[in-house]
Structure 1
Amino acid sequence: MPIDRAVPTIEAQFVRLDDRFDGIDGDFVVERIHTGARKSEGPVWFPAGRYLVWSDIPNSRMLRWDETTGAVGVFREDSGYANGNTIDRQGRLITCEQGNRRVTRTEHDGSITVLADTFDGRPLNSPNDVVVRHDGTIWFTDPPYGIAGGYEGNAAEQEQDGQYVFRLDPSTGDLTVVADDFTRPNGLAFSPDEQRIYVADTRQNPSHIRAFDVLADGTLDGGAIHATCDHGRFDGLRVDTEGRIWAAAWDGVHCFAPDGDLIGKLLVPEPVANLAFGGPKRNLLFITAGRSVYCLRVTFNGALYPLTAVRE
């Protein structure tokens, strides 16, 4: 990150709760690289351009931060109340548009392709968060937050029978329900080897993360509760190269060992909605929280997916 610009900072507060958190820390300060949004969400890092894109949901816009200059500008106005974002194997932006009730892909020329907006002949609820697997399939959650009122979308009746986790094959357009027993499915992330997927159920009491095994045919097995939230509710998830799960919560980012034990936290002064790893080493941690976006360089690395090489 540039060091010759004045950026508001706060002290980095890593809280160790287990010996397995030893050595997990980073910069002494957390930089606040932007504030003034209504609700920051869905950060995604673009390595080729060295910039971060995220959603400001109630303002129905997406913003862009340039690492080389520190400048923040509008990436897209009238974003369809965009929430979660990711990139595919070709470096294209994949977006969950809550207001438009669809998942889209932004092509390299800037045009937008609709990937999914219906299931079983009926509109989706309001796609929330999204990840891409090495085979190019797109996995997303579909709770009804964007149709519950006019603040984060457009009020409408729910037409799906449930709140599903979907798998989309963009090469065929096939959309499949892979999990159908969630109350409010939200953030999701694959393990580093992509043999497991973790999905947050925000509205359960307590809010928790469930773990599924990903079978060879793309279906899921298991689904037991893997971790629970001790402060507010879970939202977005990310996984590092050691298989640790980093989960957005109301007091900051919670770190869970691969076995689901809470081993530490990074405290943030605003409720955290989501996070992303960036930079050449994926050791810049970006945190969307309330009105702001925070960043710090850390001593661990985000898992790399979607993979850039086909697995045998």
Structure 2
Amino acid sequence: MAGISCSSNAAASPLSRRQALGALGVGAAGLALGSASARAEGAAGAAEPPSTVTTPPRSFATDAPPNVYFWDPDVIAADPAFNGLAQPNAPVQRLWTGALWAEGPAWSAVGRYLVWSDIPKNRQMRWLEDDGHVSEFRAPSNNSNGNSFDYQGRQLSCEHLTRRVVRYELDGAVTILADRFEGKRLNSPNDVVAHPDGSYWFTDPPYGGQLYEGAVDAAGGPTNPDGLINNRLGQPPEIGEARRELPTACYRIDPNGDVARVVTEEEAPDPNGICFSPDFKTLYVVSTGKGPGDAGPGGKGEVYAFDVDPDNTLSNRRLFTDCMVDGVKCGPDGVRADVNGNIWCSSNAGRAVGYSGVTCWSPEGKLLGRIRIPEICGNICFGGPKRNRLFMAASQSIYAVYLATQGAGPA
């Protein structure tokens, strides 16, 4: 499998978190997708994508018959270095399906379970590592999106509906970590990570400002300018007056509770996924796409890197990757680092079947490999007792694959 990568010359326009590319069509054969002419024909006819990306067709279910040998055909190396990160005899498996939009997977090392958000269903789900049991973990969840765990084992959650970041304490209490900046409501916090010094860093794009994943603004707000949508329907009464007040940005919550803006909208519009390098000297921020109420151009599906200075401010902003693979925009969303400093990003390639899943990049921003799954991937995390299993929250399902590396903890 060394050095094998899918080939495509089809160009794709930048996509937002909720937009799909135009239908590109695809004919999967072995490890390669179909010809450019076939993709062009599919685009013209807006054909429905196939339900599988492998030939012969495979089932990803946990009870599927054996169908993977050395290597899994959906674990694809773009660089020989990826062979040292992937596990040759480990299959990609679908652990569960049944969400409307699965997001925010996070691994509890103490509880040995995976928790994730099903945003439209307003709930969090939990998968137990010991027997694979899945159950509703928390409902309602205030349309939570991103989740992670801090260095004390406490769960952090970003809530779309209430426009806040919360922490679930070990005694069962809930602490509101941030819901405003300079007296103004946050938009819809999306993803959050912990720093060893006790600070928390989170992104605040506007994606929760829609009926499907939260609530639109009160009448006259940027996401409900004409007041045609009744944002009180089905919601607690206090939600009715909320409206967008801030540009998109990234923030740091200090241990004393102070909230500081660390990345502006101009530096990374529509920030989405966020993670640190293993040494905490670099912060990676995903700039996805234009969201509800955006007045500017929005993000372009890119990942930016920033140096983390000793005083926890950021400098040296630079483009880490534009997430273009074989001419296809593999729109990033969630992002995590492994212990070697490689960056793993979820991929939303719309109808470019075979490019949705996960991309892996070296610390220098070079594409190392991909994991493809038959659904759009929204977010990822490392977990398992050895933290060598990559969990993928993908549209309606949860997928997982064992790797030959570990995630940089704890989330």
TM-score using structure 2 length = 0.70
- Cα distance between partner residues in 1 of 2:147 and 2:154: 10
Structure-1 separation of matches of 2:123 and 2:307: 35
Percent of pairs with identical residues:
43
> How big is the shift at 1:228?
1.2
1:120 aligns with 2:182: yes
Whether contact under 8 Å (1:255, 1:264) holds in the other structure is yes
Per-residue deviation, residues 276-295 of structure 1 (Å, max 9, x unmatched): 11122210111100100011
Does 1:129 pair with 2:177? no
Normalized against structure 1, the TM-score is what? 0.92
The alignment of Structure 1 onto Structure 2 pairs a total of residues equal to: 299
Tell me whether 96-105 or 9-18 shows the greater mean CA deviation: 9-18
Q: CA deviation at 1:205?
A: 6.4
Please state if 1:242 is matched with 2:242.
no
Q: Name the residue aligned to 1:47.
A: 109
- Which residue matches 1:258? 363
Structure 1 position 228 matched with structure 2 position 314 = no
For the residue of structure 1 that corresponds to 2:147, the secondary structure is strand
Pairwise mapping of residues 25-174 of structure 1 onto structure 2 (< 5 A)?
25-26=86-87, 27-147=89-209, 149-156=210-217, 157=221, 158-169=243-254, 171-174=255-258
* Conserved? CA contact 2:287–2:300, under 8 Å: no
More strand by share: 1
Distance 1:104 1:263 in 2: 35
| Cα distance in structure 2, aligned partners of 1:282 and 1:14 | 19
Offset, 1:258: 0.5
2:36 corresponds in structure 1 to none
Instruction: Report the alpha carbon displacement of residue 8 of structure 1 after superposing the two structures with TM.
Output: 4.2
Query: Structure 2 counterpart of 1:34, which letter?
Result: W
Secondary structure at the counterpart of residue 81 of structure 2: helix
8 Å contact kept, 1:248–1:254: yes
Q: Tell me the amino acid that sits aligned with residue 177 of structure 1.
A: R
Displacement after TM superposition at 1:19 (Å): 2.5
Q: 1:148-170: per-residue Cα shift (whole Å, max 9, x none)?
A: x210001113533310100001x
- The answer for the alignment partner of 2:372 in structure 1 is 267
| CA-CA distance at 1:24 after TM superposition | 2.6
Q: Cα distance 1:205–1:161, how it changes in 2: closer, same or farther (>3 A)?
A: closer
TM-fit CA distance, 1:88:
1.2
Look up the equivalent residue of 2:251 and give its one-letter code: F
Does structure 1 residue 289 correspond to structure 2 residue 399?
no
Rg larger for: 2
Question: CA contact under 8 A between 1:61 and 1:82: conserved in structure 2?
Answer: yes
Separation (CA, whole Å) in 2 of partners of 1:32 and 1:289 = 10
Measure, in 2, the Cα distance between the counterparts of 1:295 and 1:226.
26
In structure 1, runs of 5+ residues without a counterpart are 1-5, 307-312
After the TM superposition, which of the residue ranges 152-161 and 187-196 deviates more from structure 2?
A: 152-161
Q: In the aligned structure 2, how far is the partner of 1:55 from the partner of 1:206?
A: 25
Corresponding position of 2:15: none
Q: Does 1:219 align with 2:313?
A: yes
> Partner letter of residue 256 of structure 1?
W
Q: Which amino acid aligns with 1:194?
A: F
* CA distance, structure 1, for counterparts of residue 84 and residue 366 of structure 2: 17
Find the aligned partners of 2:299 and 2:135 in 1 and give their Cα distance.
Answer: 38
